[in-house]
Amino acid sequence: MIDGFSQTLFERKTVVVTGAGRGIGAAIAQGFLDCGARVVAHVGRGMEHAQADLLERVRDTERDRLTLLTADLSGPGAGGDLARMVLQGLDGPVHALVNNAGTMEGRFAAESVTKAEFDRVVDLNIRSVVELTTALLPALKAAEGAAIVNTSSISATVGGSPGSSLYSASKAFISTWTRALARELAPDGIRVNAVSPGTIMTDFHRRYSSEEKLARTAASIPLQRLGEADDCAPAYLFLAAPELSGYITGQIVEVNGGQFMG
Ligand SMILES: NC(=O)c1ccc[n+]([C@@H]2O[C@H](COP(=O)([O-])OP(=O)(O)OC[C@H]3O[C@@H](n4cnc5c(N)ncnc54)[C@H](OP(=O)(O)O)[C@@H]3O)[C@@H](O)[C@H]2O)c1
């Protein structure tokens, strides 16, 4: 539950969130539901994580406003296929699209990166995001005041840690694409921004970072702790709500406890 936002902020609005089965995406989807939205949640490749995380968070009274979709986004065409699934279930415009699904796919040493590794990272973190967004643009334009909120990363600016070169560069694409889209889509009334999380304790870091590395990172952060998914979600809601951020577009909002200050 996110305190501080009106429970009617997104009433009668439709929001699409990808990667919402767990981690940051589950917190975002819950936040939109708490604020009255109808949420189309892409929960990942299967339902198992959604049952353990997203559905644990959602209250019974909110379930009728929640649609769950699954899709593997790691291949060419997958973003377009997901868009068709989303559009099939819609009876009106899309007011906000949150592109959140993504991951590092592994730590790959720069000297031995394979074509398959390169393709997996690019297909998931870049291609699927572009495909989904492109296919949903007519539905976003129809909302007359829609918002796109992308998910970049602190690593897009600072370069990440060893083994993350493909991932970090894929997120730099997302940051630059966000600014370019913001300019191009402004005449259509669509604002485009991104949230750039720092080190957030989700399965992402449980998979890819050691406890020692995380402890060192926490000690170096000005606010003296790692982030949580619930630290990130309010920034997405803020950027999606024209009432709160109607004059903000093309911005990357850093949510990192002061770990990086641009
Ligand atoms: N955690 C951090 O510190 C951090 C920092 C900067 C940026 N980010 C970004 O924030 C976003 C959310 O990350 P998170 O920390 O919440 O990670 P997470 O807990 O691992 O969740 C990632 C989400 O993306 C989905 N996903 C991953 N691979 C997929 C695939 N091939 N096809 C479809 N869906 C897939 C996952 O679904 P499955 O359940 O199917 O895997 C899951 O729903 C990502 O874009 C990540 O890069 C995270």
CATH number at residue 75: 3.40.50.720
**Pocket of ligand 1 contains residue 23 by CB under 6 Å:** yes
* Residue 9 belongs to a domain: no
Q: Which residues are catalytic?
A: 167
* Residue 6 belongs to a domain: no
How far apart are the CA of 187 and the centre of ligand 1, in A?
Answer: 31
Residue nearest to atom 2 of ligand 1 (CA): 200
* Residue 261 belongs to a domain: no
pLDDT at 199: 97
Structural domain range at position 178: 14-255
**Pocket of ligand 1 contains residue 25 by CB under 6 Å:** yes
* Residue 72 belongs to a domain: yes
pLDDT at 3: 80
**DSSP letters of the chain?**
--TTS-TTTTTT-EEEESS-SSHHHHHHHHHHHHTT-EEEEE--SSSHHHHHTHHHHS-GGGGGGEEEE----SSTTHHHHHHHHHHHT-SS---EEEE------S---GGG--HHHHHHHHIIIIIHHHHHHHHHHHHHHTTSS-EEEEE--HHHHH--STT-HHHHHHHHHHHHHHHHHHHHHGGGT-EEEEEEE-SB-SHHHHHHS-HHHHHHHHHHSTTSS-B-HHHHHHHHHHHH-HHHHTT--S-EEEESTTS---
CB count in 10 Å sphere of residue 144: 12
**Pocket of ligand 1 contains residue 197 by CB under 6 Å:** yes
* Residue 32 belongs to a domain: yes
pLDDT at 262: 80
pTM: 0.98
pLDDT at 2: 75
pLDDT at 1: 64
Domain tally, the chain: 1
* Sole residue written with tokens 């590092």: 104
Which of 151, 234, 134 lies closest to 185, judged by CA?
134
Which residues of the chain register pLDDT less than 70?
1
How far apart are the CA of 23 and the centre of ligand 1, in A?
Answer: 7
Which ligand 1 atom minimizes the distance to the CA of 105? 28
pLDDT at 9: 97
* Residue 1 belongs to a domain: no
* Residue 50 belongs to a domain: yes
**Pocket of ligand 1 contains residue 234 by CB under 6 Å:** no
* Residue 62 belongs to a domain: yes
Which ligand 1 atom minimizes the distance to the CA of 204? 20
Quick: pLDDT tens for 66-89: 999 999 999 999 999 999 999 999
**Pocket of ligand 1 contains residue 164 by CB under 6 Å:** no
Residue nearest to atom 5 of ligand 1 (CA): 197
Residue nearest to atom 44 of ligand 1 (CA): 102
